[in-house]
Chains A and B, each alone.
Chain A
Amino acid sequence: MSNPSGNHHAPASQGGIGQSVLRKEDALLVTGRGTFSDDRNLPGQAYGAFVRSQHAHGRIVSIDTEAALAMPGVLAVFTGEDLVQAGQQPQPLGVAAPTRDGSPMRWPRWRAMATGKVRHVGEALALVVAETSQQARDAAAAVAVDIEALPTVTTAAEAVGPGAPLVHEDFAGNVALDFHFGDTAAVAEAIASAAHVTTLPIVSNRIVVAAMEPRSSLAEFDAESGRYTLYHACQGAYGSRDVVAHMLGVEPARVRILTGHVGGSFGMKAHPLPEDLCILHAARETSRPVKWTDTRTDSFLSDPHGRDHDMTIELALDEQARFLAIRIGGCGNIGAYMTQGAVFPAAINQMKNTPSVYRTPLLEVNTRCVFTHTAPVGAYRGNGRPEANYYVERVIDTAAAELGIDPVELRRRNHVRPENLPYESAGKQLYDSGDFPGVLDDALKLADWDGFGERRRQSEARGLLRGRGVGQYLEVTGAPGREMGGIRFEPDGTVTMLTGTLDSGQGHASAFTQVLVSHLGIPFDRVRLVQGDSDQLAGGSGTGGSKSLVASGRAFIEASAKVVDAGRQIAAHELEVAAGDVRFLDGRFTVPGTDLGIGLMELAARLHGGLDLPDHLPRTLDVTHLHDGVPSAFPNGCHVAEVEIDPQTGATRVVRYSIVSDFGTVINPMIVAGQSHGGVAQGIGQALMEHALYDEEGQLLAGSFTDYALPRATDIPPMRIGDHPVPARTNPLGAKGCGEAGCAGALTSVMNAMADALRPLGIERIDMPATPQRVWRAIRDARAAAAA
């Protein structure tokens, strides 16, 4: 296992690529001086509070705002009809996916507030604006809503059944997307002729994202210029601007998005959500800045949720236990409306990610994205990638058990090996790099896989079951998107970097600066990063799909090259030599063989001081660069988990955890380790604890942190970290992206360990979340069956 530092080609400048540089933003954040959305206030601001539906499905008979309007401090009350009359549009169409019959994809209208019908508990019905937040909330309680309740459906399996109530009248069978990928006949043939087929029904439980910062927005409208400003937490100011402009029906130039610190997002704040549009409308109508901050109680109901799949995966193997084909089918519950990326988790990302690190020649995906009367499902850490890896790793372990083969050996037999690269997967992804067998070997060593027997004996001596599980994974990062790399040399001797990705805790400011330090030799402390101001951006696809570093990193590398080009010409003029004689190294332009030279920062200072340059030379070193996208990368790794189960109570603890990753070139090992830790914690949460369960009437049963089990410090084990980096060949950094990988490794390793611990009792299947009650029932039932 090598340390990831040392992979970079640039000189080892202070704060350059590969160093665990501390984060620039932390000095503010540890002293309480961060600027989260709710920390911002504007003079004269009013406050918004929402009236939300308590019914999962119903016809809006009336919304009586009279009493609320008469309450102290109330400025206005708005409903969905007001937004329609003002010309506000529904959410723009999101990402399309191919449909089974080739027909174009359709989207239902998702308006910022309900009109006609409500479709999930928590859907916004009215916005009250008042002088104080307390007055707004008092008045919201006085809005009288009359809803005629209609039948509800909350699970995908029921929603596609005969006679199920329709969420949207024009979507028969509640199917938003009937997705198909693969050669049906070839896969059927492979399965029919296989020596062995393992079939595993499997679920990905619904998750409440629960970023610790509740959503909050502050909207302002300037009547003179006709411009809207929205201060809000998101994952990309440029893209958010376009969504807001579309919904308001104005030119994008009339919208400005300003984002400060974002208190976690994980996909949930990926695009503007209904409340943002409501307060923008209110700001215009009341001629006041309007602020709204969600309560946690409401955020459980109205933030987009994550996951929620009900699948069956089949793996066909030949006599030598080589994989022949994988067929995966089932439903993704996407809730009442379609978020912008609703087709990813259950459809597109199943196609891309299911093949993982294995040579499986054939893949078929048959999944339906299904409407239900539940909160819309959006992106959540990995957005289908962890699930695809989870499904395939679980079916591999199940097949190994059925065939009596060591699960590690079964993986080794089927790996895509380094000599197979480049390799096109059955999901049509061209893997460029990686050492999958080596990653597995390193993980087993780090985990002391061979010492498990002794540890199990010790657990058994204490009356506990112990299991171990491997979770090897490969993720296909987000699709290519335009990204900006702006570099501005300021008069005060600092450098501003501008890009359209957006940090919500990933430490972009230091990581991106490290790229600039290595490529331009600019001192680390002189650089600041601007992401959260759409007015300063010329483009950007935002953060998502673990692609920020690769996307912004390439943009800054290419922008740096432009800086050097311009700088070389100006330096040549200043040094009175030919441009071709000037070289750039470690932040200096020099002329080999002479003592002539000038630093980049000095050149920038001279330009600000005013240089008399001939017309053909550039006048500035500033660069606004846009690229059209970086190919997806393939971060991969292997996690090994060990669990202990108390068979009397079903309580489970993850007691050992090891991580080996191939994230390609690592820019900042400290930050990358933190991303792994956090992803693993979220994965353990989904595997063992978290479940956003609705009842049949569409009420969320786990509607607060007292009912919804978010992992606490005692629920998460210490993690060992190792690295096995193989730089990517498809981007100039060699990076692969690390943000979502932790979940992929954790779901798989933890649940394989659960199955390993429970298998001796005759338990064939255990689903997430493997809560104490669920585990206890499985053990009780297995013992009863054994006794019978």
Chain B
Amino acid sequence: MSIAMPDLRYHRPATLEEAVDLKRAADEAVYLSGGHTLLPAVKAGLAAPTALIDLRAIPQLGAGVSVSDGMLRISAATTHAAVAASALVLEHIPVLAALAGSIGDVQVRNWGTLGGSLANNDPAADYPAAALALGATIITDRRRCPAEAFFDGLYTTCLEDDEIVVEVSFPVPLSAGYAKFRNPASGFAMAAVFVAQLAGDAVRCAVTGAGDDGVFRWKEAEEALGRDFSAAALDGLEPDASAMLADLHAEPDYRAHLVAVMARRAVSSMGRLTLHG
């Protein structure tokens, strides 16, 4: 059988209010939305919730994809597979669909959700890079939070303990590109860069998988690209290695180097996802 799980209660509330009440009622209750990061962590003993509150039956979270006023809106419980296959996403931000289609594997994409990924803020997750680079707004059950303020370090966000991500609103960029170097074992991002050209000549460049404080904007690259939007403009630029993660597969200097390479590749293949490693 599978590895031991702690004893816990499973809830499947039908409304946001019910979910919040359940969360407040138990000390170690945790929201669940897909669970493909959370449940392995529970099995590994890294988390020991007494209750899991499955958010996927709440109608607002399952509303799907819509477009209005130059914004692509995706509800939180939309699976990666659904984002990858969405005609609206493919039409308006094709690289976001490709990004979703590169998360985990086929089975994981059928269960993992946008909201779950953002709320978990895994430093190797893909969506945080897209949200940050595109300047997305994370809409919760109580407020609208710009991506800039949402991500707050490894596995940490600005979400209050009982707050629920309901929807994410992505501004449709002029163009965007994403280059990912995958961890040879897990397939997660070991260094991945999302570059977006936004309305008003703004260029944003977000890095995931590499920073020791999670997803971050690489300002030097943004400035260089703002002056000259070309891969060559990034020559010689590298993020500070002392702010990079270290693990078995990539020491900080290698990660910093990979970030630079991925940034150049994202710029050279705007509109597309490129996978490396």
Contact = CB atoms under 8 A, between A and B. Distances in A.
- Dominant SS at the B interface? loop
A641 to B, nearest CB: 18
Interface string B227-255: 00000000000000000000111110010
A137 B185 contact: no
A709 interface: yes
A777 B186 CA distance: 22
B188 to A, nearest CB: 8
Contacts of A293: 1
Interface residue range, chain B: 20 to 34
B44 A709 contact: no
A709 B184 contact: yes
Interface string A640-675: 000000101101000000000000000000000000
A420 interface: no
B249 A706 contact: no
A541 B123 CA distance: 51
B254 A141 contact: no
A706 B190 CA distance: 12
A772 B186 CA distance: 14
Given A707-B248, A773-B251, A773-B254, A649 B186 contact: no
Contacts of A771: 184, 249
B4 A134 contact: yes
Contacts of B77: none
B181 A689 contact: no
A133 B258 contact: no
Contact of B248 (A49, A133, A693, A777): A693
B276 interface: yes
B277 interface: yes
Contacts of A62: none
A697 interface: no
Contacts of A171: none
A693 B248 CA distance: 8
A701 B246 CA distance: 12
A38 B251 CA distance: 40
B248 to A, nearest CB: 5
Contacts of B254: 773, 776-777
Nearest to B265: A648
B25 interface: no
A689 B257 contact: no
Nearest to A141: B4
Contact of A772 (B1, B187, B188, B277): B277
A75 to B, nearest CB: 17
Given A133-B1, A708-B185, A651 B277 contact: yes
A138 interface: yes
Interface in A352-393: none
Interface residues of A, number: 34
Given A138-B4, A141-B4, A776 B184 contact: no
A297 interface: yes
A710 interface: yes
A295 interface: yes
A250 interface: no
B181 A651 contact: yes
Given A648-B261, A649-B181, A651-B276, A706 B186 contact: yes
Contact of A707 (B2, B185, B261): B185
B105 to A, nearest CB: 9
Contacts of A137: 3-4
Contact of A773 (B7, B44, B249, B261): B249
Interface in A704-757: 705-710, 712
Contacts of A649: 181, 258, 261, 276-277
B181 A710 contact: no
Contacts of A773: 249-251, 254
Contact of B44 (A38, A133, A297, A646): A297
Interface string B178-218: 00010011111000000000000000000000000000000
A702 interface: yes
A689 B4 contact: no
A773 B257 CA distance: 10
B276 A706 contact: no
Contacts of B251: 773
Contacts of A710: 185
Given A702-B248, A776-B254, A295 B261 contact: no
Given A649-B181, A707-B186, A772-B181, 18 more contacts: A49-B4, A138-B7, A295-B2, A297-B3, A297-B44, A646-B276, A649-B277, A651-B181, A651-B276, A651-B277, A702-B248, A706-B186, A707-B247, A707-B248, A709-B249, A772-B249, A772-B277, A777-B254
Interface of A: 38, 49, 133-134, 137-138, 140-141, 293, 295-297, 646, 648-649, 651, 689, 691, 693, 701-702, 705-710, 712, 771-773, 776-777, 780
12 contacts: A134-B4, A134-B5, A138-B4, A295-B3, A649-B276, A649-B277, A651-B181, A651-B276, A702-B248, A706-B185, A709-B184, A776-B257
Interface of B: 1-5, 7, 44, 181, 184-188, 247-251, 254, 257-258, 261, 276-277
The 6 A-B residue pairs with the shortest CB-CB distance in the complex, in nearest-first order: A137-B4, A709-B185, A706-B186, A709-B184, A295-B3, A651-B277
